[in-house]
Structure 1
């Protein structure tokens, strides 16, 4: 029987996933970069191949919260949890803030922080990544959940960028709140290297017989010992690391992507090889990338199929031999039907990912012009063309939908269209698709211009019939990692 991989990627609400799939005291390190309650919408950017127009964007998530029945239920769950200190703090915040968007956000975070505390080992730590929007409230909640004694550091991550601020100083840092579950936290002496030449300007440093710069360190009742410049200096709580800019080789197009170097520091300092790292808001997967690179096991959770699909591609490109499961995504017709009933947009994004298409459009009605995805292909091996994808998850499909897709193909200049349907197509739909004709690739081979695939076809392994499809054409591909070299922690 094949062994189950140690690494797991979950699609779903992280509160449910934590409760159903993550055992008590099973995780060594938690990093979370939750929404900041910034009241903004964030888009994933997909690059367009040369000659096909501008880049495409699709809304990844809205960082906006509202006080509603779900927030009230989460508040009640904290009250019933038995964590008196946490509920007292949350209740005091509610009296101070009222029932508004900020309170809804804090309530959502509080009930999840309790679960994260449960799954941590006694030697485990948590790093919560935030900005000034709610960091002061989150620190209070963490004091309530972990106890103020377990606060270790407030780490300031500084970076340089231009921000348009006319009546305040530019905001050029994020905050990481570092807590542990007990006094026996795992913590490694991660050092920042610096040039050996710096010692030549300091009279305290000397050179040894091998030419290495060192200085003597003397502690009370101990013999003097040498400290070498090449060993680096211990990390402080102020980290100057560049953000991922538009030209960075790391950039994958995800709106809140953080640099791998930032996560490598955290993983190296607060876990050991073979430990389990958890990211419950894993986005495009930077934390699990760092964990895989440094020889840790990992668990990633995200609530959108866009993120899950992007992480799958990232891990497969950077670590071709990495073994991991993807759970919570449809694995059969019944689960696909369930997803279609619950959230038609997530169903669309899942179906698009199944055929290696780029998602297109978003949640605004009519914004996509009838297009849910794009597949790029090279009919002559050089020129790039595109196929338009339309996904329908409802019970009723008809010939009008085929005509609409044909119209979109004409409007967009796309030689091929792919219609993905949850239910079987009708005979008139099949006849209408056939009437659209055939596409010739220049080598005497022809392809149906309008192709219909069912969800059953997708599970059977059937895919669009295209000449030289290029599934990587519009995705920013992660560079392959050399796992034998763990790299700099600068």
Structure 2
């Protein structure tokens, strides 16, 4: 076991990453926004860079669960963990609700919460973000892992939105965030999260300032403002500047409040389900070190894009688990062609196929956007072949897709070495003239070229999704930082 240096972005199963790469008692703050067992598939939404056309989507993750060997193995791991209370609880829930999707979800969460408790420092805190689908079960699991006395707050995050016609119940418009401290002492930077008192409140306490507060008839209010209640209203507009299109994206202000309140500058913040990276963005902005983990290349690529564009080189990190050489890329291609397609499309500055589920891609594995005639944004198409065998007919098929869909440029990416016949087929499509020079209409690009630090011959590319907002890093002073005791 080794202690990971600051700012690590891991691709992989967070259970494996936690066990193999994150040392015991090395993390100050954990925020996790795991799947909610919603029995739904979630897509990331985006438009082409010029804003034209209908919304498109790519499957981000599938939040469906089923009882099987993985869930059984997780329960056995819990039994072997030595946490008897958790073992008894999980067996009782299994008896009560049976071996079903909810039980599989809870087993997945419980075994990971054991590891998250291990890596948390004695003064650290965990904030678990969930919704009413399983919150009642998850609080029991947290009680068993952390102890009932370590519960600090149940925070309700409120949001709004249009209702559905014919609704037969009150609208469900809140999530729950459970805060647990690991030990008897924890970080709570009260002055970092104070809110100004309203004019009416100040008027009611016109007795004047005494010490650090305004004195009224029977109460004292702090002159720096009030500590927020345990219900929070932070909005993220679906078409706003902050929104990146990720289906479960949370407002940056929500994460800034958690990070500011429960950690100090230089502390380590961990998000094991980091999605589009809002928690690591907040940690970076507030001067914390961070570790992010996600199991899709789509998320890893989106986070890298978000940090690169938002911080303009001021944010540094190491990405671990993505292919680092030709051998590891070929291994990914053989083990998971779909993830390979996502990784290579993002690596080359493009975007994976915008259609949703695997399969049914009509010969398209990805797109790239480039500056075309008169500065207009044009779309090129990517075909990715992860297998060891390629032939001219595959290149010919890409040419047909280009003709069918009206793309002037096509990129054929393969893990294997292309044949002479493939090169001839690509060359037969000729060149296109742009104001940036001439480019092959259809070109072949290989993994060998990628790891020789070569790039496809393309006009200037345009960011394929909403551009991340420029981040203004605030000074990381936190007045009133203190350790609160029970």
- Is the aligned partner of 1:412 residue 2:413? no
Q: Which residue of 1 aligns with 2:443?
A: 451
Match of 2:344 among 345, 351, 362: 351
Q: Which residue of 1 aligns with 2:465?
A: 475
Q: Which residue of 1 aligns with 2:214?
A: 215
Q: Decide whether the 8 Å contact of 2:193 with 2:260 is kept in 1.
A: no
Q: For each residue in 1:297-323, what CA deviation from the matched residue of structure 2 results, as whole angstroms up to 9, or x when unmatched?
A: 000000000000000011112223111
- Is the aligned partner of 1:131 residue 2:123? no
Query: What is the CA–CA distance in structure 2 between the aligned matches of 1:19 and 1:428, rounded to whole Å?
Result: 48
Q: For each residue in 1:140-164, what CA deviation from the matched residue of structure 2 results, as whole angstroms up to 9, or x when unmatched?
A: 0011111111111111111121232
Q: Which residue of 2 aligns with 1:183?
A: 184
Count residues with an aligned counterpart: 472
Query: What is the CA–CA distance in structure 2 between the aligned matches of 1:208 and 1:175, rounded to whole Å?
Result: 37
- How far did residue 412 of structure 1 move? 1.2
Q: Decide whether the 8 Å contact of 2:6 with 2:290 is kept in 1.
A: yes
Q: Which residue of 1 aligns with 2:278?
A: 286
Tell me the SS of whatever aligns to 2:246.
Answer: coil
TM-score w.r.t. length of structure 1:
0.92
Q: Which residue of 2 aligns with 1:252?
A: 244
Q: For each residue in 1:194-234, what CA deviation from the matched residue of structure 2 results, as whole angstroms up to 9, or x when unmatched?
A: 356334642x225679xxx9622799xxxx98832xx1101
TM-aligned CA distance change 1:478 to 1:5, over 3 Å: farther
Tell me the SS of whatever aligns to 1:185.
Answer: strand
Query: What is the CA–CA distance in structure 2 between the aligned matches of 1:133 and 1:433, rounded to whole Å?
Result: 52
- Is the aligned partner of 1:374 residue 2:367? yes
Query: What is the CA–CA distance in structure 2 between the aligned matches of 1:70 and 1:359, rounded to whole Å?
Result: 29
Query: What is the CA–CA distance in structure 1 between the aligned matches of 2:217 and 2:315, rounded to whole Å?
Result: 46
Match of 1:227 among 209, 222, 228: 222
- How far did residue 168 of structure 1 move? 1.1
Q: Decide whether the 8 Å contact of 2:286 with 2:474 is kept in 1.
A: no
Q: Which residue of 2 aligns with 1:147?
A: 147
Q: Decide whether the 8 Å contact of 1:199 with 1:205 is kept in 2.
A: no
Q: Structure 2 stretches of 5 or more lacking a match?
A: 479-486
Tell me the SS of whatever aligns to 2:38.
Answer: coil
Q: For each residue in 1:221-259, what CA deviation from the matched residue of structure 2 results, as whole angstroms up to 9, or x when unmatched?
A: xxx98832xx110122111222x2222211001000000
Task: Let me know the Cα RMSD of the aligned residues.
Answer: 2.3
Tell me the SS of whatever aligns to 1:35.
Answer: coil
Q: Which residue of 2 aligns with 1:50?
A: 50
Q: Decide whether the 8 Å contact of 1:46 with 1:358 is kept in 2.
A: no
**Structure 1 range deviating more: 267-276 or 364-373:** 364-373
- How far did residue 73 of structure 1 move? 1.1
Tell me the SS of whatever aligns to 2:445.
Answer: strand
TM-aligned CA distance change 1:218 to 1:328, over 3 Å: farther
TM-aligned CA distance change 1:200 to 1:304, over 3 Å: closer
Query: What is the CA–CA distance in structure 2 between the aligned matches of 1:438 and 1:366, rounded to whole Å?
Result: 31
- How far did residue 52 of structure 1 move? 5.0
Query: What is the CA–CA distance in structure 2 between the aligned matches of 1:365 and 1:324, rounded to whole Å?
Result: 31
TM-aligned CA distance change 1:322 to 1:116, over 3 Å: same
TM-aligned CA distance change 1:52 to 1:388, over 3 Å: farther
Tell me the SS of whatever aligns to 2:461.
Answer: coil
- Is the aligned partner of 1:6 residue 2:6? yes
Q: Decide whether the 8 Å contact of 1:361 with 1:371 is kept in 2.
A: no
TM-score w.r.t. length of structure 2:
0.92
Q: Which residue of 2 aligns with 1:167?
A: 168
**Structure 1 range deviating more: 162-171 or 87-96:** 162-171
- Is the aligned partner of 1:72 residue 2:34? no
Query: What is the CA–CA distance in structure 1 between the aligned matches of 2:453 and 2:46, rounded to whole Å?
Result: 26
- How far did residue 137 of structure 1 move? 0.4
TM-aligned CA distance change 1:163 to 1:60, over 3 Å: same
Q: Decide whether the 8 Å contact of 2:59 with 2:357 is kept in 1.
A: no
Match of 1:331 among 324, 330, 337: 324
